[in-house]
């Protein structure tokens, strides 16, 4: 399993620290650690979503100045409703790399009524990928349950 960016940064930091044999007078404060590869707000968001119970403990392990900022971000994210937090994750980290393929698989396997409703709900840049199903029919004829299901399946395919 490949190490994370933070793990690689910490290993690099350990390599930069002088050994006791080389410089016994050097302290950890004398060494500049490499910067985190992700912005602090994004790190706090990921930790909030993936390890909510231990998030404060994990972010508290950062350098003091960054830990305080990260904990403030964490408080803000924890106060958000779940749906808003997940929407923020999707907006920050974008669509999946294979989103178009997943969307195509969904549309091919979907029943005709669900496919037509999904095509109506697709953004134009995704709809242009499927010219074979271009005629989506008149909008608004579908049941609300079918519309909700199509929207959810589209979100699942894109994230």
How confident is the model over 114-155, as pLDDT tens digits?
A: 999 998 888 777 888 888 877 655 555 678 898 889 988 988
pLDDT given at position 107: 92
Can you give the pTM of this predicted structure?
A: 0.46
Q: Are residues 54 and 11 part of one domain?
A: yes
Instruction: Say which residue, 24 or 149, is predicted with more confidence.
Output: 149
Give yes or no: residues 60 and 16 share one domain: yes
| Ordered alpha helix ranges (H), 4-143 | 5-16, 40-50, 55-60, 64-79, 82-93, 99-109, 112-121, 124-127
For residues 84 and 153, membership in a common domain is answered with no
Tokens at residue 150, please? Answer: 């199509």
The domain containing residue 112 runs over which residues? 98-158
Phi, psi of 23 (to 5 degrees): -145, 85
Is the same domain home to 107 and 154?
A: yes
- Look at residues 53, 72, 93 and tell me which one is the last residue of a structural domain: 93
Q: Which is more confidently placed, 150 or 92?
A: 150
Per-residue pLDDT at 111: 92
CA–CA gap between residue 99 and residue 74 (Å, rounded): 29
Q: Does residue 54 sit in the same domain as residue 80?
A: yes
Using CA atoms, how far residue 2 sits from 6, 8, 18, 36, 43, in Å, is 12, 10, 26, 17, 18
Q: What domain count does the chain have? A: 2
What pLDDT is stored for residue 1 in this prediction?
41
User: Same domain for 107 and 73?
Assistant: no
In this structure, of 21-25, 51-55, 61-65, 92-96, the range with the lowest mean pLDDT score is: 21-25
Poorest-pLDDT segment among 20-29, 33-42, 94-103, 108-117: 20-29
């Amino acid at each position: 399993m490949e190490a994370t960016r933070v793990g690689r940064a910490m290993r690099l930091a350990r390599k930069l620290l002088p050994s006791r044999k080389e410089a016994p007078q050097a302290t950890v404060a004398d060494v500049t650690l490499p910067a985190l590869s992700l912005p602090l707000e994004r790190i706090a968001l990921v930790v909030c979503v993936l390890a909510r119970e231990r998030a404060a403990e994990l972010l508290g392990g950062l350098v003091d100045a960054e830990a305080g900022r990260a904990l403030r971000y964490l408080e803000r994210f924890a106060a958000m409703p779940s749906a808003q937090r997940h929407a923020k994750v999707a907006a920050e980290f974008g669509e999946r790399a294979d989103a178009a393929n997943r969307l195509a698989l969904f549309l091919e396997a979907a029943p005709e009524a669900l496919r037509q409703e999904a095509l109506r709900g697709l953004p134009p840049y995704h709809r242009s990928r499927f010219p074979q199903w271009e005629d989506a029919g008149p909008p608004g004829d579908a049941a609300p349950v079918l519309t909700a299901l199509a929207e959810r399946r589209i979100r699942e395919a894109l994230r």
